Amino acid sequence: MNKKKEILISIALIAAVLAVLRVLELNIPPTSQWAMLLTVLKKGSIYALVAVSMNLLNGFTGLFSLGQAGFMMIGAYTYGVLTIPVADREMVYMYYDGGIIKFALPAVLGIIAAGLAAALFAFLIGLPVLRLKSDYLAIATLGFAEIMRALFQWDTLGPLTNGSNMIRNYPTFKTILFPFIASGICITLIVLLINSTYGRAFKAIRDDEIAAEAMGINLAHHKRIAFTVSSFFAGISGALLAMFQTNVQAKSFNSAMTYEILLIVVIGGIGSVTGSCISAFLFIACSEWLLRFLDETHKIGDFTVPLMRSGFRKVVFSIIIMVIVLFFRQGIMGTKEFSISGILSRFGGKKKNNKEGGAPLQ
Amino acid sequence: MKENVLKVENVTMQFGGVIAVDNMNIVVNEKEIVSLIGPNGAGKTTAFNVITGVYAPTNGAVYFRGKKIVENYPQGKMKKLYKGENNGIYKSVLSPTPDKITKLGIARTFQNIRLFKSQTVFENILIAEHLRRTSNLFTATFHMNREEEKNMREEADRLLEILELSDVRNEMATSLPYGKQRRLEIARAMATKPSLLLLDEPAAGMNPQETDELTAFIGRIRDDFGLTIFMIEHHMDLVMEISDRIYVLDFGKPIAEGIPEEIQNNPRVIEAYLGGAADE
Ligand SMILES: Nc1ncnc2c1ncn2[C@@H]1O[C@H](COP(=O)(O)OP(=O)(O)OP(=O)(O)O)[C@@H](O)[C@H]1O
Ligand SMILES: [Mg+2]
C-alpha cells in the first residue's frame, strides 16, 4: 500500500473518531451513568500522552526513570500559575497577598510553558542523573520527584506555588476534543522522533550502550535529549491534567501516580506506542469506572459477598500486575505497533513486504 | 617510509593492583594488517579498550596519524598504587569517550558479539550513518531531512551489497548464524567509515571453512577500502596467513614483534604461547 493512501485513511479515521467523540459529548447528559465514559476518555487521552512519554525513555532509550509524576507536577503548576486570570489571583493566593505573578498567559501559551518548564528541569538534572546505571537512575529520578513535591508545598515558595493550597480558577477545556487533539499532536511528534535517525540512536542505546558508543553515538548527549523531550511531554500532559481536574495540588503527584503510569506502559508493552495508548484507556476505564464496584459492599439476599469493600480494587490491581509481570511480560503489544497498513494487509491476505516500507511506526 | 597510523606509547593499564597491560609500545602503519596474539588474559582486549576510549589508561599515550588522542598518568589513589614503568613522563589528561574515537576514524568489533538485538541487519548498519548526520533534533523529527535520510538508507544498502549481506537484510540480527553475525559486526564497524579497523577475535567460534572465508574477507576489505587493520586472534592459520606483522603479548607485555616467520620461530613465543596454542 502506498503512503498517500495510508495518510488519507488515517486522516479519515481521525476525523471519524473526533466526530464520534463530539456526538457522544453532546448527547450524554452529565447526570447519566454514561457520563463516566466521557470522564474516562478525557483522562485516558491525557494518561496516554504521559505513558507514551515514559515509554520514549523506558521503552525506546532503555533508561529506567521514575520521575514522570514529578515532571507532570511541574507542568501542571506552570500552567496553572501562569494562566490564572489576574482578577482571580487575589482570591486564589489569599494567604500570599495575591502571589508574585501579576500577569496571565493565554491557555495555549501556558501549555507550552508547562512543557518547557518540565524540560528545563530535566535538562538541568539530566547531566548528573543520567550517568547513573539503571536502578540508581530510577531511585534518583523518583527522589527528584519527591523532593519537587515537597518543595512545591514549601511555605516560602507560597507566593509562587500557593504552598499547600490549591491552584485553581485557571482556564480549563470545554470540550472532550481538546485533550484528544492536544495529546494526539504530542504523541504524533514523539512517534516522528522515534522514527527519525535520533530514534534509531535511542534504540541502539537501549539494545547495547557499549556498541552504540562504538558506533559514534554520544551517550550523554542522546540520553539527555531523550530525557528532556520525555519530560517536555510529561509537562504538557501535566498541564492537560490540571485542566481536566480544574484544580491542582502538589500532594496528588505522588509516587503512586508514577507507578500507575509505569503500569500502563508495562501493560501496553514496553517499546510500543500504540500499546501505551490502548492500555492507558483500559487502565483508566478499569480504575475509574469498571472496577469501582469492587470497592462497594454487595449483598445477594442476606449473604454479603466477602472481600468486596473499600480498597479491594487496589488489591485486584496488584494481582493483575503480578499476573502480567509473571506471565505476560510483553504486555498487550510487546514492541509491536498497531497500524492501518498492518491490519489491511492482514485482512487482505497480503504479506507485509518488510518492516521498513510497511508499518508507519517501528 | 609508510605513514604511522596508530602508535601506542608506554601504555600501562592497572586495575586495582593488577597490571593488565604493562608498558605497551605498538606501531601500526598505513594499510598494514597487524595481529596481536597472546595467551588468555594477556591484556589484548584491554589494549583495544584503551585505544578506543572505553578505559583511560593508567599511564601512557595513544597517537592516531601523529595526533595524540589519549593520554593519562597515575592520579588519586593510583598515585600510590601504581607499579608500572615510566611514571612521571606524562603530565596531561586526554580521555575522549568512545564515540569521539569512532568519529576520528577508528572502528572496532567486540570479542563477545554486541549486535543491536531487537533490530534487523539493515537497521544495525543504518545506525552507523547517524554519526555523519547534518540534521538536528528538529529537522530530523519533522522529517525535513528527507534527502539525508534517503542517502543514509542507500549508503547502508550499498554496504550490505558490497559485504554480501543483502540476502539477510531484513532478518533480525540475532537470528543469523554465528559466522554471519561476526561478519555483520565487521560490516557495522565498516559503516562508520573508519580508516583503522580493530577486530577482537573475529574468527572466535568459527569452523575451519568459515575461518577461511573470513581470512579472504578481511584481506578483501583491506584492499577495497584502503583500510589499516589491527586484529586480535587465536586462530594461528588465519594470523600467519594474513598478517604483515605480529605482536605477541604475555602478561600485558609485548614479548616479541615481527613478520609471521620470525614469530613462528621465536623460542620465547613458542614457550609462552605457540607451544600451548598448538596443543589446544
Ligand atoms: N574492567 C576490569 N577490571 C578489572 N580487571 C580487568 C578488567 N578488564 C580486564 N581485566 C583483567 O585484565 C586482564 C586482561 O584481560 P583481557 O580481557 O584484556 O585479556 P585478553 O588478552 O583479551 O584475553 P582473552 O584471550 O581471554 O580475550 C585479565 O586478568 C582480566 O581479568
Ligand atoms: Mg580478549
Please write the tens of the pLDDT for every residue from A188-212: 999 999 999 999 999 999 999 999 9
Q: Is the pLDDT of residue B279 over 60?
A: no
Q: What is the DSSP letter of A351?
A: P
Is B113's Cβ below 8 Å from some Cβ in A? no
CB-based contact B192 A210, cutoff 8 Å: no
Residues of A in contact with B127 (CB under 8 A): 200-201, 204, 212, 215, 217
Ligand 1, pocket-test mutation among B11, B35, B37, B45, most atoms within 8 A of CB: B45
Distance from CA of A198 to the nearest CA of B (A): 7
pLDDT at A316: 80
Please write the tens of the pLDDT for every residue from A23-32: 888 888 888 8
| Span from the CA of B20 to the centroid of ligand 2 (angstroms) | 11
pLDDT at B269: 85
Considering only the beta carbons, identify the residue of A201, A218, A225 that sits closest to B127.
Answer: A201
pLDDT at A67: 92
CB-based contact B110 A211, cutoff 8 Å: yes
| Span from the CA of B259 to the centroid of ligand 1 (angstroms) | 26
Q: Which residue has the higher pLDDT, A283 or A360?
A: A283
Q: Cβ < 6 Å from ligand 1: which residues?
A: B 15, 18, 20, 38, 40-46, 111
Residues of B in contact with A354 (CB under 8 A): 170
Name B7's bridge partners. Answer: B27, B63
CB B180 within 8 A of CB B123: no
| Span from the CA of B44 to the centroid of ligand 1 (angstroms) | 8
How many beta-carbon pairs under 8 angstroms link A with B?
103
CB-based contact B116 A354, cutoff 8 Å: no
Residue with cell 540480527: B173
Relative to beta strand A247-248, strand A167-168 is antiparallel
Give B265's Cβ-side CA count (13 Å radius). 3
Residues 6+ away with beta carbon under 8 Å from A273? A52, A55, A187, A190, A191, A194, A337, A361
What structural domains and CATH numbers belong to chain B?
4-105+194-277 (3.40.50.300), 115-178 (no CATH)
Q: Is the pLDDT of residue A347 over 90?
A: no
| Span from the CA of B45 to the centroid of ligand 2 (angstroms) | 4
> Average pLDDT of chain B?
91
Out of A1-10, A131-140, B271-280, least confident range:
B271-280
CB-based contact A201 B142, cutoff 8 Å: no
Please write the tens of the pLDDT for every residue from B189-218: 999 999 999 999 999 988 899 899 999 999
Q: Which residue has the higher pLDDT, B9 or A294?
A: B9
Element (H, E) at A139: helix A134-152
Distance CA B246, CA A216 (A): 28
Q: Which of A8, A9, A344, A14 is nearest to A188 (CA)?
A: A14
pLDDT at A355: 35
Q: Whose CA is nearest to atom 17 of ligand 1?
A: B45
Q: Which residue has the higher pLDDT, B33 or A155?
A: B33
CB-based contact B170 A207, cutoff 8 Å: no
What phi and psi values does residue A145 have, to the nearest 5 degrees? -60, -40
Residues of A in contact with B126 (CB under 8 A): 200
Angle at B273 between CA B270 and CA B274, to 5 degrees: 55
Please write the tens of the pLDDT for every residue from B211-235: 999 999 999 999 999 999 999 999 9
Angle between helix A107-129 and helix A219-245 axes, rounded to 10 deg:
140
Out of A3-17, A74-88, A179-193, least confident range:
A3-17
| Span from the CA of A115 to the centroid of ligand 1 (angstroms) | 46
Out of A178-182, A313-317, B236-240, least confident range:
A313-317
Distance CA A24, CA A26 (A): 5
Q: Give the ipTM.
A: 0.91
pLDDT at A344: 65
**Cα distances (angstroms) measured from residue A338 to each of A60, A202, A343, B123, B226:** 16, 21, 8, 20, 45
pLDDT at A346: 61
CB-based contact B152 A211, cutoff 8 Å: no
Q: Which residue has the higher pLDDT, A352 or B111?
A: B111
Distance CA A269, CA A263 (A): 10
CB-based contact A218 B114, cutoff 8 Å: no
Please write the tens of the pLDDT for every residue from A145-199: 999 999 999 988 888 888 888 888 899 998 999 999 999 999 999 999 999 999 9
User: Which regions of B142-211 does DSSP assign to beta strands (E)?
Assistant: 196-200
Ligand number with the minimum distance to the CA of B200: 2
The three three-digit cell numbers of residue B241, written as one number: 596467513
Of all residues in chain B, the percent with pLDDT exceeding 90 is: 74
CB A283 within 8 A of CB A267: yes
Angle at B187 between CA B184 and CA B193, to 5 degrees: 160
pLDDT at A348: 56
CB A310 within 8 A of CB A284: no
B228: how many CB neighbours lie within 10 A of its CB?
Answer: 25
Write out the DSSP string of B60-123. Answer: EEEEETTEEEEEE---THHHHH--SS-TTT----B---HHHHHHHTEEE--SS----TTSBHHH
Q: Rounded mean pLDDT of A43-71?
A: 94
Q: Map out the domains of chain A as residue ranges.
A: 37-253
pLDDT at A89: 82
Q: Is the pLDDT of residue B278 over 80?
A: no
Out of A40-49, A51-60, A100-109, least confident range:
A100-109
> Average pLDDT of chain A?
86
Distance from CA of B82 to the nearest CA of A (A): 27
B144: nearest CA partner in chain A: A196
What band does A4 get if pLDDT is binned at 50, 70 and 90? confident
What phi and psi values does residue A118 have, to the nearest 5 degrees? -60, -40
Q: Is the pLDDT of residue B276 over 50?
A: yes
pLDDT at B275: 67
SS3 assignment, position B165: coil
- Residue B48 Cα: closest atom of ligand 1: 18
| Span from the CA of B15 to the centroid of ligand 1 (angstroms) | 9
Please write the tens of the pLDDT for every residue from B84-96: 889 889 999 999 9
Ligand number with the minimum distance to the CA of B42: 1
pLDDT at B3: 66
Distance CA A141, CA A137 (A): 6
Distance from CA of A351 to the nearest CA of B (A): 14
Angle between helix A255-268 and helix A68-83 axes, rounded to 10 deg:
120
Burial B170-202, CB ≥16 within 10 A → b, else e: eebbeebeebbbbbbbbbbbbbbbbbbbbbbbb
- Residue B16 Cα: closest atom of ligand 1: 4
pLDDT at B57: 96
Dihedral angle sign, alpha carbons of residues A145, A146, A148, A152: positive
Q: Is the pLDDT of residue A360 over 50?
A: no
Residue with cell 539477510: B168
Please write the tens of the pLDDT for every residue from A291-308: 777 777 767 777 777 676
Residues 6+ away with beta carbon under 8 Å from A18? A177, A180, A181
Distance CA A318, CA B176 (A): 40
Q: Whose CA is nearest to atom 6 of ligand 1?
A: B15
Distance CA B221, CA B203 (A): 15
The three three-digit cell numbers of residue B27, written as one number: 606501531
Q: Whose CA is nearest to atom 4 of ligand 1?
A: B15
Distance CA A74, CA A116 (A): 10
Distance CA A80, CA A107 (A): 9
Burial of A190 per CB tally in 10 Å (0-12, 13-18, 19+): buried
